[in-house]
Chain A
Amino acid sequence: MKIQYFKSSVFIALAVVGLASCKKDNVQDDVIPPYEVPTTYNFAGANYTASTQRVKMALELNSYLGTALNATITSTKANDYFNNTNNPFTTDATLNASGVKLADKTADAETFTGYFVEQAANSTKNAIEATNGSAGYVIKGTSKRLVSATGLEYNQAVAKGMMGALFFKEAINILNSVPDANNVTVTNGTTAMQRSWDEAFGYLGVPVDYNPDKTYANTDAVRPLLWGGYLAERGKGIEAGKIIFNAFLKGRAAIGAKDYLVVKEQITIIQAKWEQLVAAAALAYTTIPTNSVSVGDLPTQFHALSEGYGFISCFKYRPANSKLTDANYQKLKATIGTNFYTLINEANFTKLVEAQNILKTTYGLN
């Protein structure tokens, strides 16, 4: 069902990224005819295939790195996934000939190739129990994880780190470029501005008819992926799914109507909420290890910290108007970069609690 969009107030409250663009191409008309904002991303000509392909590639790469718990893996193979060489993809073999790869959109790519080397090395220790100072597995009951000498799961460092260095980073940067994009020349049914918007939307990893209130089954072929999954997993409390998805819909409709004020509003909304989602995840993962039910449970504590490690690294790519100061970002980095055995043994979890408080205060979380 479509929704009529009316602008009825005289004063317009704007949340803008910067000053209104003075570019001649994208001038706001005096009168914008009313336009509809659909409830699904079914815009004519919408194309974000490459973004979706990268989401799927990341999932297969992550899956491969995860097998290190029970098998030896190689950084060569991981690089194949990263660079799309030697036909590595099997879950979706069409990715192999897609002409798309992860590497060229991943910031700090050498950090990730470094992680591949670490995980490959750790996989040779997957039959040995880990200790502080030597890699191996940690186990509690039926829960088992492969960790480095400092307790870090490198596959999580890759998975969550790349969610930042590729997907979040690209979405933020693309959205930043939207106001200045060409919204006049139509090629294959869409303008450059629309294509940029679609590309950013694709990195969210949600289906066209995404429903933030729905619990998607693991087996659902169109379930939200990567960031899409985190909209529910850690973003329910801040309504991340509803707000980000609706802003993408509204912005795309606004582009069609050349309603640039609204487009810029949605950019700010998306960027702020997505960053808050990063924070919500980071907060959860720096909190779980400090819960009394987690104490003594190394797999749970190290797994959470490893995810936290990845999510905190996402802040590097946060928008310029982020509320997270550089000083606090450095504190978060320093804390999560501490040996995990040290972190979990610290009386009163002082460092982790400090990280939690930074996140809570900066992002209004609890």
Chain B
Amino acid sequence: MNINRIKYGMGVTILAITVFIVACSKKSGTDNGPKADGFDKAGMLTNYADNLIIPAYMGLQDQITQLETTANTFLATPNADNQQTLKVAFKTAYLQYEQVSVNQFGPSERVLLNNFLNTFPADNAVIDGNITRGTYDLTQNSTIDQQGFPSLDYVLFAPDALAKFSGSSAANRKKYVQDLLARMKTLTGGVVTTWKNTYKAEFVQNTRSDAGSPIAFLINQFAYEMDQMKGPRIGWPFGKQSGGVQYPDKTEGYHAGISVSLAVANLTNLKKMFTGNNSGKGMSDYLVALNKKPLSDDVIKQFDLAIVKLNAIPDPFSTALANKKTEIEAAYREIQILLTLIKTDVASATGVRITYQDTDGD
């Protein structure tokens, strides 16, 4: 069967369309993830933003401000009593940080908040060098292990801290503490502002599940935070990646002796994030709407189990590494199970691709 193709002469206007630059920029399909009939995803995201994420950052902002006040008291009179008071305020602030740690996407990702606030272990030698010199640029990305909570932990609570606050570099040391706190306050404040002013709006109305969507961010961050628990917080100091060789001084909050408290706070908050704080508008509820109630229940049970096992490890963790190995092993096992549940099962159920481990083909 022949089909007439009408040929136009040389005067025909030829439409040149750059179809493929424009049209193909859109993602293929709508990619709204698996069907969850009647579940209000926008409502879930609003719950996360209004009742969990923004309050957590605001709380951290408050805590850092309070920590500054307490720190200034100590810096004016660096004695053991003031140091003890400071340690309490430090712990409170650090525990509040564990409420925001999982929210590393959007505004906090842009300013590398977690990197600047909580890269541990700190580089003690370089910090001391900064203090001796008196000059440093904390905005450089290479200085992430010279600032934030871990660096404060070293400068304020290392065994020889009090002596150093009376030594030759005392003035520089005090200034360093103040500079660290000022930077933490600025970075956190910036994240609060961005969330409130601009990011929340785009966050709550994107109900997709593809890479870069809020749901993908949340699931990825839940999994990433579990990886951090399994690795840097518990497993690596315990020797899990080093054939049993332990690293007590590479723990979170080492000098203040609060590593387990921080880990428990982190995991407890992660459970709160998973359930949307039992509001009926959390990821667990989304899973139920996806007909995955058994999975959701399993995850919640596993959270509780892991938290119980973590609580069985006494602080300071650095000491427990030596004489509470059974307890640590038990906690580690439950953490591994929870990690798999979230990174594999929950991710699969919600149609989310785990993207933070970019395994490059080369």
Residues of A in contact with B (beta carbons under 8 Å apart): 6-8, 10, 13-16, 19-20, 28, 30-34, 141, 156, 159, 229, 233, 237-239, 243, 268-269, 272-273, 276, 288, 291-293, 295-296, 300, 303-304, 307, 323, 341, 344-349, 363-366
List the B side residues contacting A141 at CB < 8 Å. Answer: 241
Q: 9 nearest interchain CB pairs? A: A364-B25, A347-B139, A272-B20, A345-B142, A295-B115, A345-B140, A345-B141, A233-B361, A30-B7
List the B side residues contacting A365 at CB < 8 Å. Answer: 25
A276 to B18, CA, bound (A): 12
B125 contacts partner chain A, Cβ-Cβ < 8 Å:
no
B135 contacts partner chain A, Cβ-Cβ < 8 Å:
no
Q: Is the interface of B mostly helix, strand, loop or mixed?
A: loop
Given contact pairs A33-B2, A276-B24, A296 touches B144 in the complex (Cβ within 8 A): yes
Give a binary string over B1-40; 1 marks a CB under 8 Å from any A CB, 0 the rest.
1111111001000111111111011011000000000000
A303 to B360, CA, bound (A): 9
List the B side residues contacting A344 at CB < 8 Å. Answer: 141-142
Given contact pairs A156-B362, A307-B362, A238 touches B25 in the complex (Cβ within 8 A): yes
Q: What are 30 contact pairs spanning A and B, CB under 8 A?
A: A7-B3, A10-B6, A13-B15, A14-B16, A15-B17, A19-B14, A20-B14, A31-B2, A34-B2, A238-B25, A243-B24, A269-B20, A272-B20, A273-B24, A288-B358, A291-B356, A292-B104, A292-B109, A293-B356, A295-B144, A296-B115, A296-B119, A296-B144, A323-B18, A345-B142, A349-B141, A364-B24, A364-B25, A365-B25, A366-B212
In the complex, chain B residues 199-224 whose Cβ is within 8 Å of any chain A Cβ: 212, 224
A300 to B361, CA, bound (A): 12
List the B side residues contacting A291 at CB < 8 Å. Answer: 109, 356
List the A side residues contacting B111 at CB < 8 Å. Answer: 348
Chain B residue with the shortest CB-CB distance to A360: B25
List the A side residues contacting B119 at CB < 8 Å. Answer: 296
B114 contacts partner chain A, Cβ-Cβ < 8 Å:
yes
* B141 and A346 contacting across the interface, CB-CB below 8 Å: yes
List the A side residues contacting B224 at CB < 8 Å. Answer: 293
B145 contacts partner chain A, Cβ-Cβ < 8 Å:
yes
* A31 and B5 contacting across the interface, CB-CB below 8 Å: yes
B112 contacts partner chain A, Cβ-Cβ < 8 Å:
yes
Chain A residue with the shortest CB-CB distance to B1: A34
A293 to B105, CA, bound (A): 11
Residues of B in contact with A (beta carbons under 8 Å apart): 1-7, 10, 14-22, 24-25, 27-28, 104, 109-115, 119, 139-142, 144-145, 212, 224, 241, 356, 358, 360-362
A15 to B20, CA, bound (A): 9
List the B side residues contacting A292 at CB < 8 Å. Answer: 104, 109, 112-115
Q: Which of B16, B20, B104 has the most CB of A within 10 A?
A: B20
Chain B residue with the shortest CB-CB distance to A307: B362
Chain A residue with the shortest CB-CB distance to B224: A293
Q: Which of A15, A34, A156, A363 contacts B25 (CB 8 A)?
A: A363
Q: How many whole Å from B105's CB to the nearest CB in chain A?
A: 9
List the A side residues contacting B15 at CB < 8 Å. Answer: 13-14
List the A side residues contacting B145 at CB < 8 Å. Answer: 296
List the B side residues contacting A272 at CB < 8 Å. Answer: 18, 20-21
Q: Which of B5, B22, B28, B109 contacts A7 (CB 8 A)?
A: B5
A30 to B360, CA, bound (A): 50
* A238 and B24 contacting across the interface, CB-CB below 8 Å: yes
Chain B residue with the shortest CB-CB distance to A268: B20
A30 to B104, CA, bound (A): 61
Given contact pairs A233-B361, A288-B358, A276 touches B20 in the complex (Cβ within 8 A): yes
* A323 and B21 contacting across the interface, CB-CB below 8 Å: yes
